[in-house]
Structure formats: C-alpha cells, structure tokens
Amino acid sequence: MTANRVVAYIDGYNLYHGLIDARLRTSRWLDIRAVCKSQMRKGQQLEFVRYFTTRVRNDPRKSERQSRFVDAIEGLGGVFIDYGYFQSKDVHCYSCGHSWHQRKEKKTDINIAVRLLEDAHDDRFDIAILISGDGDLAPAIDSVRSRTPEKRIVVAFPPKRNSFELQRAAHAHKRISRTTILSCHLPATVTTSSGHLIQAPEGWLPTHAK
C-alpha cells in the first residue's frame, strides 16, 4: 500500500514567538522535521518541509543565532527555506503624542499561500501540514480544498497560538504539545550533509540535552 505523501509548511516566526510565549525559550534549537513527523499518522510519509522566515538585519547577535539555526535545518536536508522581509514605518499615537519606529514582517503569509497552492496544483502532496496560527492563511486553504478536493489540509498550532479561521478552513486541527517540543531538539553540534559543523547558540537547547 502506497503511503500518503506529506508536505509541511512552517510559519517560522509564528512558531518562534509561540515558543517564547510558552516559556520554551531553551527549546529553540528545534528539530523541525521531527516536530512535523510527530503530527503524522501511520501510513504517511514526509516528503519535505518548507520553512518560512525573514532574516534579522538590525541586530548582529540575533542575526548570527538565526543564521546558525537556518543553516542547520537546511544543511541536514529535506528542508527548503522561503524568505520574506521586514518593512519599517513610523507609528504615531494621537492619544499620548509619542512616536516610535516599528518593523513588521512582510510576505511570509503570501509565500506560504503561494507554495501551498503550487504544491497542490503540482500534486506534490496528499496531505499538507500547516504549522501556524495565522488566520490570514485560511483563504489559501479554502482555495486548495475547492480546486483539489482530494487533498487534505491539517493545521498544527504552535504553543500559545490559535486561529478559529484556520480551524474552520482545515480538514483537521491539532496543537503541538509542550512534550513534543521538549523531545524534538537537534544535537548540540549539527553536522550538515556537506560536513560543516554548527553549534547550538547559547540558551537555545535544554541543559540536559547538551
């Protein structure tokens, strides 16, 4: 019997900030393929993972830590990265009179929607797992379901993230448990397929896992 093909789509910042809000800061050195597999059932096969993020540009130390993680998950294979960008704008509060500079991640939801639709159209999956709590992705799920009704979409909410719009749109939804996060970490030193060694940033891995 042929296994059902699974492609996973991970909203990187949604997952990252979910970990922070859930006080799982020391679990950021996450094995995202293992997380995706934990959400699958018997008879399903993970084809590949698409990870969506935006490069940090305004903080060298944060940028370096992010680069280590992205290089590690991409270097192990089976993960494809799509990048958005940050848009800056000045925000003014008319009540208090204060102004401040705000940076907002852009294009991530568009990138996820486009890849989801492309992969459904090109028959790259039987089941898509979407790891996000961004309700703006509901129309993309609706489109996949109407155009390719044989495909199934499952939403897996990161810790501290939820969306009734995604619950409505998807065939099924679940929550990634704290236990799953704590058990799915990369080794302290990752050896990529090219032989490059990448060390986990300080504080990104539970002490007992080092």
Number of domains in the chain: 1
How confident is the prediction for the chain on average, in pLDDT?
Answer: 91
Q: Please work out, in degrees rounded to the nearest 5, the angle formed at the alpha carbon of residue 209 by the alpha carbons of 203 and 210.
A: 70
**What pLDDT, on a 0 to 100 scale, did the predictor assign at position 92?**
53
The CATH number that applies at residue 147 is 3.40.50.1010
**What pLDDT, on a 0 to 100 scale, did the predictor assign at position 100?**
43
Amino acid at 75: G
Stated pTM of the model: 0.89
Residues 10-32 have a mean pLDDT of: 97
Which tokens go with 46?
A: 């993970």
Q: Domain range holding 173?
A: 4-209
Q: Where are the alpha helices (DSSP H) in 85-176?
A: 108-121, 138-147, 164-169
Q: Report pLDDT digits (tens) over 63-97.
A: 999 999 999 999 999 999 999 754 555 545 556 66
